[in-house]
Chains A and B, each alone.
Chain A
Amino acid sequence: EAEVAQSPRYKITEKSQAVAFWCDPISGHATLYWYRQILGQGPELLVQFQDESVVDDSQLPKDRFSAERLKGVDSTLKIQPAELGDSAMYLCASSPVRNEQYFGPGTRLTVT
């Protein structure tokens, strides 16, 4: 069964360092989402792609976060520089157009 892949699964980094996460959506899914989930809270959308275009990045802290999906397939989310408050689970999801979202296993980030 096709799955959304994410790597790494866990990342520990020091504050002020750069960190990057990778997501490979289910083949054929045009829409890709990056979410941040702080412990004890529901996921919060950071950025949504339709193919290679950003549809919604209104909640992305653009001074330190960036996201790209250059060929409309896999995607990278970067944080530079990381801050203590960025410690969270970063989830990627993909979906066919306007349909159910399929989530990846997530990357748990700890900033020390």
Chain B
Amino acid sequence: KNEVEQSPQNLTAQEGEFITINCSYSVGISALHWLQQHPGGGIVSLFMLSSGKKKHGRLIATINIQEKHSSLHITASHPRDSAVYICAVRPNTDKLIFGTGTRLQVFP
């Protein structure tokens, strides 16, 4: 069993829809990252969380440390949001453990 599980693996949506991607993990962590990877391959860090909730534009990330669960929400989705979204956790080391990603496609 992977230490970091994401769901769903693939997600399609119509422009404007509210989107939720989930991440569950099985290890104790000091931080959780949400990353965005476009087809070209480069990865952009969206959020780093250790508790509570963060918001940036149309993106919201929440984490529940007790339940070992985090969600990434996208409000008013747009085709340019189409990408792979990766959850990564940091145990009490510098090393990140990555999920396998959620592939999101938003259609106009």
Contact = CB atoms under 8 A, between A and B. Distances in A.
Interface string A78-111: 0000000000010101010010111111101000
B99 A104 contact: no
Q: Interface majority SS on A: helix, strand, loop or mixed? A: strand
Interface string B71-108: 00000000000000010100000111011110000000
Contacts of A108: 41
A48 B94 CA distance: 9
Contacts of A95: 94
B36 to A, nearest CB: 10
A42 interface: yes
Size class of the contact patch on chain B = 10 to 19
Interface residues of A, number: 24
A16 B74 CA distance: 45
Interface of A: 31, 37, 40-45, 48, 55-56, 89, 91, 93, 95, 98, 100-106, 108
B52 interface: no
A102 B45 contact: yes
Given A31-B94, A48-B94, A100-B48, A42 B41 contact: no
Contacts of B98: 42-44
A30 B5 CA distance: 30
A102 B98 CA distance: 15
